[in-house]
Structure 1
Amino acid sequence: MARPGLVSPRIVPRRDEDWPSLLELWVASWRATYPDIDFDARRDWLRQQVLRLERSGSRTLLLREGAPPATIGFVVIDPATHWLDQLCVHPTRFGSGAAEALIEAARSISPARLRLDVNADNRRAVSFYEREGFVSRGEGAPSLSGRRTLIMEWTSALLPQS
């Protein structure tokens, strides 16, 4: 239960006024993961990528908390293809349960299956997805940075039957 005066985390759809906080969060998260890459220079790429995906039917959901609300994470999921293109959490919230909340939001949009690619050398992310029930389905295309990627998939069929 939230303490008095605090606003519990909630999932909301992205709005145009959310771009500054979404882009700042994305840069901060990736900078914490790969400090040798200039993610500031990739802001326009991300914005164009997300807009392209949204025009094709993907949904961008933000995880917000606090008063005034602050964006602490976001996910981009295509319900038709089950492709999770982006899952990003602010580095101050790594390990807080924010990523789990975003995966849960993605599963609510695509309840039978989720697919994604992840940098193979990003052990934090690979381990997280494995804990969430994803399995590796092979190598993906190299990332923009030239890193090897893995295709990972979660399906509801992988859940234990009760």
Structure 2
Amino acid sequence: MTGGRPITGPRIVARRDSDWAALTDLWVAAWRRTYADIDFEARRDWLKNHIVQLEHGGARTLLLLEGAGRILVGFVTVDPASHWLDQLCVHPERFGSGAAEALIEAARSLSPARLRLDVNQDNERAIAFYEREGFVRIGEGRPSLAGRPTLIMEWSSAAAPA
């Protein structure tokens, strides 16, 4: 214990309405680090509306929190029915920390048979991460909101090593 409070490790929890400000702040910071030329600040409302629409269709948004103060490290949005992983986002100060791997595991708990996603073809860091996590390229996707070409990638429990 520190200062009378227990030390709390990372945990996965469902998104609550009170999490929107922290979630959009994190999303803007992460994408700004990846694509500095795009104004993600202007897309905050788009993100919130997009996630709300996905959740109304059955998707779930899970947060990776640390500490007793609910420090948001990252989040993932997955539709278990379609197996679609729509959002995976980690705070840029936590890139390479294992947070993304924890969020992938959370996504797999929601969709244990398979996961599909699209990723910008020029986002080499993300593509390398997904490949390390067992995702394979299965085709080209529709252009991203920014007009960038995308790849469709898939992870399948049947293809995963035992």
- TM-score, normalised to structure 1's length? 0.96
C-alpha distance in 1, partners of 2:159/2:83?
15
Give ranges in structure 2 of 5+ residues lacking alignment: none
Could you report, residue by residue, the CA deviation over 1:86-118 in whole angstroms, capped at 9, with x for unpaired residues?
A: 000000000000000000000001000000000
Residue identity in the other structure for 2:49: Q
Give ranges in structure 1 of 5+ residues lacking alignment: none
Partner of 2:22: 21
Residue identity in the other structure for 2:76: V
After TM superposition, give the deviation of residue 5 of structure 1 in Å. Answer: 4.4
Quote the RMSD (CA, aligned, Å).
1.4
C-alpha distance in 2, partners of 1:122/1:65?
27
After TM superposition, give the deviation of residue 6 of structure 1 in Å. Answer: 2.6
Partner of 1:135: 136
C-alpha distance in 2, partners of 1:34/1:6?
35
After TM superposition, give the deviation of residue 123 of structure 1 in Å. Answer: 0.6
Could you report, residue by residue, the CA deviation over 1:111-139 in whole angstroms, capped at 9, with x for unpaired residues?
A: 00000000010011000000000000011
C-alpha distance in 1, partners of 2:129/2:7?
28
Specify the SS of the correspondent of 1:157.
coil
Q: Is 1:56 matched with 2:57?
A: yes
After TM superposition, give the deviation of residue 57 of structure 1 in Å. Answer: 0.2
Partner of 2:12: 11
C-alpha distance in 2, partners of 1:67/1:10?
10
C-alpha distance in 2, partners of 1:87/1:12?
15
**Poorly superposed stretches of 4+, deviation over 3 Å:** 2-5
After TM superposition, give the deviation of residue 47 of structure 1 in Å. Answer: 0.3
Aligned length in residues? 160
After TM superposition, give the deviation of residue 145 of structure 1 in Å. Answer: 0.5
Q: Is 1:78 matched with 2:79?
A: yes
After TM superposition, give the deviation of residue 159 of structure 1 in Å. Answer: 1.3
Residue identity in the other structure for 1:38: D
C-alpha distance in 2, partners of 1:76/1:89?
12
Residue identity in the other structure for 1:61: L
C-alpha distance in 1, partners of 2:78/2:87?
7
Partner of 1:67: 68
Larger mean CA deviation between 5-14 and 128-137 belongs to: 5-14
After TM superposition, give the deviation of residue 66 of structure 1 in Å. Answer: 1.4
- The percentage of counterpart residues that share the same residue type is 69
After TM superposition, give the deviation of residue 68 of structure 1 in Å. Answer: 1.1
